[in-house]
Amino acid sequence: MPMPMASSTHLAVLAILLLVPLSTARAVLPSSNDDDGGSAKTAAYTKVCDASRFAAAGLDMSRYRYCDAKLPYGDRVRDLIGWMTVEEKVSNLGDWAAGAPRVGLPPYKWWSEALHGLSSTGPTTKFDDLKKPRLHSGRAAVFNGTVFANVINSAASFNESLWRSIGQAISTEARAMYNLGKGGLTYWSPNINVVRDPRWGRALETPGEDPFVVGRYAVNFVRGMQDVDDAAAGFNGDPLSRPLKTSACCKHYAAYDVDDWYGHTRFKFDARVTERDMVETFQRPFEMCVRDGDASAVMCSYNRVNGIPACADARLLAGTLRRDWGLHGYIVSDCDAVRVMTDNATWLGYTPAEASAASLKAGLDLDCGESWIVQKGKPVMDFLSTYGMAAVRQGKMRESDIDNALVNLYTTLMRLGYFDGMPRYESLDEKDICSEAHRSLALDGARQSMVLLKNLDGLLPLDASKLASVAVRGPHAEAPEKVMDGDYTGPPCRYITPREGISKDVNISQQGGDVTIYMGGINMHIEREGNDREDLLLPKNQTEEILRVAAASPSPIVLVILSGGGIDVSFAQSHPKIGAILWAGYPGGEGGHAIADVIFGRYNPGGRLPLTWFKNKYIHQLPMTSMALRPRPEHGYPGRTYKFYDGPDVLYPFGYGLSYTKFRYELLNKETAVTLAPGRRHCRQLSYKTGSVGPDCPAVDVASHACAETVSFNVSVVNAGKADGANAVLVYTAPPAELAGAPIKQVAAFRRVAVKAGAAETVVFTLNVCKAFGIVEKTAYTVVPSGVSTVIVENGDSSAVSFPVQISFSA
């Protein structure tokens, strides 16, 4: 659609709730983080508490204790809120917050996105237009930013330090944009919903199907975005004062992963979910994001969970997020999720005022609304700001609930230096955007994520010096930016198509060289937000073309697949004339170079699939709307993800990925028994397969046991081939075989290591017994089962080593 926000998050909502033509959406209000839209220029300033800024508005800053940097944040935030009228308070509950200029508080736009680089989505981040350069207020123009490979790519690297480095690079660019008046401080990324169903349109935005891997991605990305380099600076140990480089946000909470599947839309979808699946799968990454990542925001989702809209569910928000996990930050709604409760998925017959009140009461702090739509120079306000006062007047909304929301919001802004500045970042500017270091990180990240799925007789890598030319075919040979960059993106610093990347190594012939490289796959017409897939196949004519090209080629061809989700390429897996298959995801601005580096052997691929590639047959066995992870024999539904599906319809399993070299694992110094001393009252029951009888104390509840016990072992990763390379070591645990309903196996740890040809590297693993061997029982208790669990260390080529671990409990 030809819209200013072509990659906008909420196109579907936009389309259904459109109030004004989008051509009017470009106007910008002056605010602290964007002052270059109007004709009257406000002076640039970097902090709210600037005495000259107050003086210019006829105010004396010394009267406002909220600007007294010597006071604790808590006192300052209470002071600020104390100055505000209830009308002013309500006008700050939406993403385009009005501020309270009367008492010195400027407007603030909360909505920025940074899924895999700064994104133009939302009203805040503004890149300059290369076609119409305008220099504002003497500030440099910024036309583009570093676009990293999509998240599903980065996930395939299984490299935690890469994930953190990407977060660090993005937050540096974000700070630079903020300093230039072109961006905000609060970013609604990452997207950490587990890919439960292979049809989900947003797989490309996520780290895949394993809740633990997704959670580790969240922790690293969030820490990269948020953590201040020198944590000592100004930090007194109170998590609510911990400085933030930028604020990250884990979304979409919870059980959200149906976008639009044959008319089942996310706005109306009621996810029927068991508590076991909530704990084990849907909430786990969020728990890790909040507890281990200390994320400063969480976004609640559109859908309902067991009948209740996620953004009005007090148990999910105030209960689990804030009380149980101790969120230090704010909770924001997905955009228009509150409006949807009354306009679309009529909930309890609530009026707009009642839905607003219910959301706030449940723990929501901020409503993302339709602020990207601007009418007569003003944004169309979000729902809470629009109906909040009515709710107050009708006695349905407590002012103290509003105050609590504002405390969470302004505390976050204080931690970001919005009030006091943050000198360490104030010198960042356009030179820090698209820097050489960031561009090479984007290239390196794209290379690390390439997954080699097939390599018959070592067809790859190609030796460019021995080729007169190659033929490059297929719809993605000249893939446009919007295919390579995927969703939630801004303009890239540089853009390299696959053909351009390859042409640096060899001449490309139209007629066909010795070798043909076919660039296939799908694109965002098939998988994206608001659009789930109907099947897992390539377009029919593309399959036909690949088969024709393969048949006509004198030697086997190379097939490169661009996609977020898995593709059923069964026809290619077994085809003797399709010699190699390389999955390139959507590899970002530097993607063309990354693909060429792998094809010509400058980089040895080490990525592994972060989700199962199913055969298309699989999706005919269960509807997308069935949320259960385990098989449902009563309906004939198979299980979901590698944890619960072991049927025949897997093309390439989770964790699959080959290399140009051969890795072999040797287990060293393994511990094979561990005893926990839990005490009788921590015993829980377990479900056993028929015929099995459990011991007296079958399992221990991990929530009530301190659990310092560990199991350690070393894996020697031997590079037994002729090429240097990187290998991601994936460690799984499998629960005792006699248990019923337990996962087949689950990832407990992973580490990517580089190993020179002929050498070996030792990787030390220390597994916490509760975290690594814990399973979620039918009762939704997380327990450690007694008996023999198994540790399995799997190589990407499906070979594995394993050893048993006997877990017992002492009295």
Q: Which residues are catalytic?
A: 334
What is the C-alpha radius of gyration for the chain, rounded to an integer number of angstroms? 27
The mark string for 416-445 relative to ligand NAG (x by CB under 6 A, - otherwise) is ----------------------------x-
Are the CB atoms for 493 and 219 separated by under 8 Å?
no
**Quick check: 108 and 99 in contact, CB under 8 A?**
yes
Q: Is 492 in the site for ligand NAG (CB under 6 A)?
A: yes
Binding mask 188-217 for ligand NAG (x = CB under 6 A): ------------------------------
**738 scored as a contact of ligand NAG (CB under 6 A):** no
Separation of alpha carbons 378 and 401, rounded Å: 27
**For residues 252-267, b (16+ Cβ closer than 10 Å) or e, as one string?**
bbbbbbbbbbeebbbb
How many Cα neighbours within 13 Å face the side chain of 62?
Answer: 0
DSSP secondary structure string for all residues of 355-394: HHHHHHHHT--BB--STT-EETTEEPPPHHHHHHHHHHHT
The residue (of 192 and 340) whose beta carbon lies closer to ligand NAG is 340
Of 79, 275, 343, 738, the one binding ligand NAG by CB under 6 A = 343
Nearest to 343 by CA among 360, 356, 333, 332: 356
Give the binding range for ligand NAG (CB under 6 A) out of 81-89, 192-200, 208-216, 710-718: 710-718
| 143 binds ligand NAG, rule: CB under 6 A | yes
* Secondary structure of residue 634 in the 3-state scheme: coil
Mention every residue, 6+ apart, whose C-beta is less than 8 A from residue 82.
Answer: none
Q: Decide: helix, strand or coil at residue 300.
A: strand
Q: How far is the CB of 144 from ligand NAG (least distance, A)?
A: 4
347 binds ligand NAG (CB under 6 A): no
| DSSP bridge pairs for 716 | 666, 762
β-bridge pairing 515-521 and 469-473: parallel
Q: Could you tell me the smallest distance in angstroms from the CB atom of residue 765 to ligand NAG?
A: 8
Span of 74-82, 155-163, 215-223, 304-312 interacting with ligand NAG by CB under 6 A: 155-163
Residue pair 740/730 in contact (Cβ under 8 Å)? The answer is no
Tell me the window of 111-119, 250-258, 329-337, 493-501 that interacts with ligand NAG (CB under 6 A): 493-501
Distance CA 772, CA 605 (A): 28
Q: Identify the residue among 27, 56, 130, 706 touching ligand NAG (CB under 6 A).
A: 130
Comparison of 249 and 484: residue with beta carbon closer to ligand NAG: 484
Residue from 475, 556, 592, 607 touching ligand NAG (CB under 6 A): that is: 475
Instruction: Kindly indicate which of the ranges 223-231, 252-260, 623-631, 712-720 contains the residues binding ligand NAG, using the contact rule CB under 6 A.
Output: 712-720
User: Binder to ligand NAG among 494, 602, 662, 771 (CB under 6 A)?
Assistant: 494
d(CA 162, CA 117): 14
CB-wise, 398 or 670, nearer to ligand NAG?
670
Nearer Cβ to ligand NAG, position 73 or 127? Answer: 127
Interface with ligand NAG (CB under 6 A), residue from 185, 250, 298, 493:
493
- 714 lies in the binding site for ligand NAG (CB under 6 A): yes
In angstroms, the CA 571 to CA 56 distance is: 70
Provide the 3-class DSSP secondary structure of residue 203: helix
Stretch that binds ligand NAG, among 510-518, 749-757, 771-779, 790-798 (CB under 6 A): 749-757
Residue in 9, 159, 281, 371 binding ligand NAG, rule: CB under 6 A: 159
Residue with nearest beta carbon to ligand NAG: 669
Shortest distance, position 111 Cβ to ligand NAG, whole Å: 21
Site residues for ligand NAG, 628-687, by CB under 6 A, read: 669
CB atoms within 10 A of CB 706: 10
Element (H, E) at 11: helix 11-17
Listed residue (94, 141, 100) closest to 122, CA to CA: 94
Least Å distance, CB 682 to ligand NAG, is 27
Q: Does 52 interact with ligand NAG (rule: CB under 6 A)?
A: no
- Return the residue of 547, 754, 760, 792 that touches ligand NAG, per CB under 6 A: 754
Contact letters for ligand NAG, residues 518-547 (x by CB under 6 A): ---------------------x-xx--x--
Question: Can you read off the two tokens belonging to residue 748?
Answer: 């407990």
Shortest distance (Å) from residue 368 CB to ligand NAG:
16
Cα 339 to Cα 55, 297, 312, 367, 382: the distances in Å are: 39, 21, 12, 9, 8
124, 120, 176: which is closest to 147 by C-alpha?
Answer: 120
Q: Counting contacts by CB under 6 A, is residue 808 touching ligand NAG?
A: no
CB atoms within 10 A of CB 657: 25
According to DSSP, the β-strands at 673-676 and 250-253 are unpaired
Contact footprint for ligand NAG (CB under 6 A): 16-17, 130, 143-144, 159, 161-162, 165, 265, 267, 343-344, 444, 448, 475, 491-495, 506-507, 539, 541-542, 545, 669, 712-714, 726, 752-754, 762, 764
